[in-house]
């Protein structure tokens, strides 16, 4: 069973067992505008919750993507460097990396879609 969760830094995650798909939200994609480059994390890299692990550059600015969980990067979306705009699509095509989760407790505190929408409206 998969489940979508969101962070205050505008990352979107899809929970697939102990594998977490990380992408950005539509809100983040719209704020960035036209994308020109994505720096992906290294395959096999160990990542810690809250640290930046990817960079998205647009014509407006560069934005770090923070990992919402700790674990190991087990897959990267190799389509993104040639097609950075794809990161704005749904999580199934626009994911940045898949992380093998090391601490399921880190999923607590992430927002569901309704809470994330309320958070965006309050910003």
pTM: 0.94
Question: pLDDT > 70: what percent of the chain?
Answer: 98
3-state secondary structure of 15: strand
Positive or negative, the CA dihedral 48, 122, 12, 65 is: negative
Count of CB atoms situated within 10 Å of the CB of 38 = 22
Q: d(Cα 82, Cα 19) in Å, to the nearest integer?
A: 25
Q: Which residues are CB-contacts of 47 (< 8 A; sequence separation ≥ 6)?
A: 41, 53, 67, 69, 70, 71, 72, 73, 99
CATH domain 2-106 topology: OB fold (Dihydrolipoamide Acetyltransferase, E2P) (2.40.50)
DSSP state of 97: E
Does position 122 have pLDDT exceeding 70, yes or no? yes
Residue pLDDT, tens place only, 13-68: 999 999 999 999 999 999 999 999 999 999 999 999 999 999 999 998 899 999 99
10: pLDDT confidence band, cut at 50, 70 and 90?
A: very high
């Amino acid at each position: 069973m998969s489940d979508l969760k969101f962070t205050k830094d505008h990352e979107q995650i899809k929970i697939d067992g102990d594998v977490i798909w990380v992408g950005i939200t539509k809100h983040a994609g719209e704020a960035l505008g036209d994308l020109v480059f994505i720096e992906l994390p290294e395959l096999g890299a160990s990542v810690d919750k809250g640290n930046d692990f990817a960079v998205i550059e647009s014509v407006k600015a560069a934005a770090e993507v923070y990992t919402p969980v700790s674990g190991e990067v087990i897959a990267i979306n190799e389509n993104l460097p040639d097609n950075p705009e794809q990161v704005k699509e749904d999580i199934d095509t626009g994911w940045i990396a898949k992380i093998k989760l090391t601490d399921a407790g880190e999923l607590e505190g992430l927002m569901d879609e309704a809470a994330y929408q309320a958070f965006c409206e309050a910003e």
